Structure 1
């Protein structure tokens, strides 16, 4: 009798199952880069009084680093709420950030999604700069898309050239197209308010933007221009990082962030 009852239950369970129930998880499900986010509110050594659109209203925060951040405890930074990092790799056509390889390896080891960025130099052709970036930044499908950093550099000891807006946009297009073909990902553009306005970048569409705005929400400084990331301070205090830190947010919820990662880190 017990044997008959057991057979009956197995038959019933089998009838209630579907093909999807019995199929193994797909590779994309098992290898999803979902990141747990703490929605932190970091301290700031020179805080801005936010009237509206405060950065801590955003769930996902990250940082950006270069050779000036020589010692970062990435596991501690991640535990404090750092969910991504932008890492300087190159500048112009011949400068390589000496801490890039260390930051690149240690962020990956800590499970912090990261992207490499290039600082544009107006005295070197864009194609040459793109080749220099490609020479120094390995193809890593798990990395976020590469970043082109576009801003004026009036304190440069070697190049203070300020081309006209049409030339700037043409050079940007050259760099972005070469890099996108190589890495297979649409690059992100980082810029500041003055550079954005001077070069009419409101007309330069088709790329995700990472906007600097430390004295107001991006909608106050860039109008309705869409953005994916917002750099809201350069004087933040992040556990695991010494000195003042740049802090950024992703423009979306935690769910939107994980969706963006799945789409851009494969």
Structure 2
């Protein structure tokens, strides 16, 4: 995998991949986007960011509008994600995202962040996710992406949502053979990086397909 510790970022990076990025939410507080964009270390410059937009049926991230605007000004490719709650109405959750996020050419497709089950049955979870994904696809005219971890992928996503692009959070692995290589586009490999202009720890991601396939998951 060709890992290299890049001290400025405070973590090892998988250097066989060329497109590196981060994801942020209100927990990262106010961000100095110019410093984020200007940061470069050992030939690595951040090229994209995913920004939390909404959660559940009614919540929106209070930093989203500013982060969304500033990310574009900083020439970072940007994406928006929705934190999904299986106990909430999936259509209301989709509408919450639609009300909040206006996507433009070059932005990433919408993302559902699926990392809690809230004690719901497999049937409820799978049916609800499908409703959210289909409502979002109907509105934006693009296939959304699923963000999840390895355990939830194996239990709920694999075999049920094989037609959707996948973004996997997996911090223990050194290879990605357990995931479908035709489906996997993004890998969140660390949640403990450092970036100039952002307080606290930051999630780090890489694009794992051939670089000319980036447009697959963009508008």
TM-score (norm 2): 0.86
Q: Between Structure 1 and Structure 2, which shows a larger proportion of helix residues?
A: 1
SS of structure 1 residue aligned to 2:199: coil
Deviation >3 Å, runs of 4+? 40-45, 222-226, 263-266
Q: Could you say if the C-alpha distance between residues 223 and 186 of structure 1 is closer, same or farther in structure 2, counting changes exceeding 3 Å?
A: closer
Distance 1:88 1:42 in 2: 26
In the alignment, which residue of structure 2 is the partner of 1:96? 60
Structure with greater strand percent: 2
Equivalent in the alignment of 1:111: 75
- What is the Cα deviation at residue 264 of structure 1? 4.7
In the alignment, what sits opposite 1:182? 139
Unaligned ranges ≥5, structure 2: none
1:125 paired residue number: 89
- The answer for the alignment partner of 1:5 in structure 2 is none
- The root-mean-square deviation of aligned C-alpha atoms, in Å, is 2.2
Provide the rounded CA distance (Å) in 1 between the counterparts of 2:90 and 2:218. Answer: 25
2:214 is equivalent to residue 260 of structure 1: yes
- Name the count of aligned residue pairs: 208
Offset, 1:185: 1.4
1:152 aligns with 2:111: no
Q: SS in structure 2 opposite 1:219?
A: coil
Once the two structures are superposed, residues 153-173 of structure 1 have per-residue CA deviations (whole angstroms, 9 ceiling, x without a partner) of 6xxxxxxx3222232121111
Render the CA deviation track for 1:74-109: whole Å, top value 9, x for unaligned: 233223211111100000001110000011000001
| Matched position secondary structure for 1:68 | helix
Change (3 A) 1:260 1:168: same
The Cα offsets for residues 165-196 of structure 1, whole Å up to 9 and x where unpaired, read as 23212111110111111111111100012222
d(CA) in 2 for partners of 1:197 and 1:218? Answer: 16
For 2:90 and 2:110, locate their aligned partners in 1 and report how far apart those are by CA, in whole Å.
15
Judged with a 3 Å threshold, the aligned counterparts in structure 2 of structure 1 residues 244 and 174 are, in CA distance, closer, same or farther, namely same
Summarize the Cα distance change of 1:168–1:181 in structure 2 as closer, same or farther, 3 Å threshold: same
Between Structure 1 and Structure 2, whose CA radius of gyration is higher? 1
